[in-house]
Amino acid sequence: MNSSPSQLVSLENVKDLLDSTEAFLFDCDGVIWKGDKLIHGVPETLQLLRSKGKKLVFVTNNSTKSRKQYANKFLSLGISVTEDEIFSSSFAAAMYLQLINFPQHKKVYVIGEQGILEELQLAGFTALGGPEDGKKTVQLKSNCLFEHDKSVGAVVVGLDQYINYYKLQYGTLCIRENPGCLFIATNRDAVGHMTDLQEWPGAGCMVAAICGTTQKEPTVVGKPSTFLMDFLLKKFDMSCSKMCMVGDRLDTDILFGQNAGCRTLLVLSGVTTLSALQDSSNKTHPDYYTSKLSDIFELMQP
């Protein structure tokens, strides 16, 4: 962890940062967009970095979409990004199960949205729950037994705007009653910019609810866990010291970058305010900070 004060991005240090960085890792919400609105100046800045030969990777904790859905979202905002450049926590959940050789005959129950189901299915796993269970209700009646699938071997919990008591009971029963059932969290973000105007409960809400009923702690595959980073390193064959993580959250993005040994740049266009960064209670100090990503573009203009 870097405990020295963070530097405001300037003409001098931005050149230095560009010279010494081969890959930029970007968080999306609060850095690239807010909800469905692009943040000012992002396309030009990404273009500038690409023109300088930098590798770009988009690392998002938002599990509601698959990589394919994210690529479409980028395109709809006028930015061309390939699926290969996207690492979402939905994808991370599927990659984690592959890595641990999760048996193909076991099923995965999902508290979350379409993105998790899609990535699990792409990776060859049988997933149930998710959006399909969003309209289900329970009957708290005498002699009514709530049945669950005994072949579920993992419960993946992510952000779920259709969270309900049915899903909470289903996930809880699997974790409590199926021997060895895994409890995997895409991430634990407390809130997120699900819309441009305000924040909404994040995956941390649903994950905490399941911790509350099962009294167990999950394996987290998204930021700030380094699982995704280990995966990235293998894929790109690059040293962490040549990477810079750009994000708007101290507790996930910056910590994630620091955990992995990357340089870190905090942008104030998302959830973190300057006063939160500078508050004496804050122990996470990025190497650099700036108001928004396009400050890099502005500074680099001749």
For the segment 151-170, give every residue that binds a second copy (CB under 8 A). 160-165, 168-169
Q: Is 251 a catalytic residue?
A: no
Say which of 16, 19, 29, 295 is annotated catalytic.
Answer: 29
Which one, 200 or 241, has the nearer CB to a second copy?
200
From CA 204, how far away is CA 63, in angstroms rounded?
A: 12
We find the least distance from the C-beta atom of residue 203 to a second copy, in angstroms, to be 9
Task: Transcribe 245-284 into DSSP letters.
Answer: EEES-IIIIIHHHHHHT-EEEEETTSS--HHHHHSTT---
Token readout for 172 is 């809880």
E-state strands within the chain? 7-8, 23-26, 33-34, 37-38, 55-60, 86-88, 107-111, 126-129, 152-157, 182-185, 191-192, 200-201, 219-220, 243-247, 263-267, 288-290
Minimum CB–partner distance for residue 142 and a second copy (Å): 5
Q: How many residues bind a second copy (CB under 8 A)?
A: 44
Report in angstroms how near the CB of residue 165 gets to a second copy at its nearest: 5
Please identify, using beta-carbon distances, which residue of 142 and 280 lies nearer to a second copy.
142
Which is nearer to a second copy, 22 or 199 (by Cβ)?
A: 199
Q: Taking the CB of residue 144, how many other CB atoms lie within 10 A of it?
A: 9
Between the two ends of the chain, the Cα-to-Cα distance in Å is: 35
For the bound state, the minimum distance from the C-beta of residue 189 to a second copy, rounded and expressed in Å, comes to 9
CA distance 34 to 31: 8
Q: Which of residues 198-217 bind a second copy (CB under 8 A)?
A: 198, 200-202, 204-215
16 binds a second copy (CB under 8 A): no
Axis-axis angle for helices 203-214, 165-177 (nearest 10):
50
The answer to whether residue 16 is catalytic is no
| Ligand-binding site membership of 223 (annotated) | yes
Say whether 242 counts as a known binding-site residue: no
* DSSP 8-state class, residue 178: S
CA dist 282 and 32 (Å) reads 24
Burial class (CB within 10 angstroms; exposed 0-12, middle 13-18, buried 19+) of 4: exposed
Nearest to a second copy of 45, 172 (CB atom):
172
Could you give the string, one character per residue 22-41, with x where binding to a second copy holds by CB under 8 A and - elsewhere? -------------xxx----
CB of 212 to a second copy, least distance (A): 3
Token representation of residue 197: 């105007």
Pairing outcome for strands 243-247 and 23-26 = parallel
Show contacts with a second copy in window 179-198 (CB under 8 A): 188, 190-191, 194-198
Catalytic residue set:
27, 29
Q: Which residues bind a second copy (CB under 8 A)?
A: 35-37, 138, 140-146, 160-165, 168-169, 172-173, 188, 190-191, 194-198, 200-202, 204-215
Residue list, annotated binding site for Mg(2+): 27, 29, 248
Residue list, annotated binding site: 27, 29, 223, 248
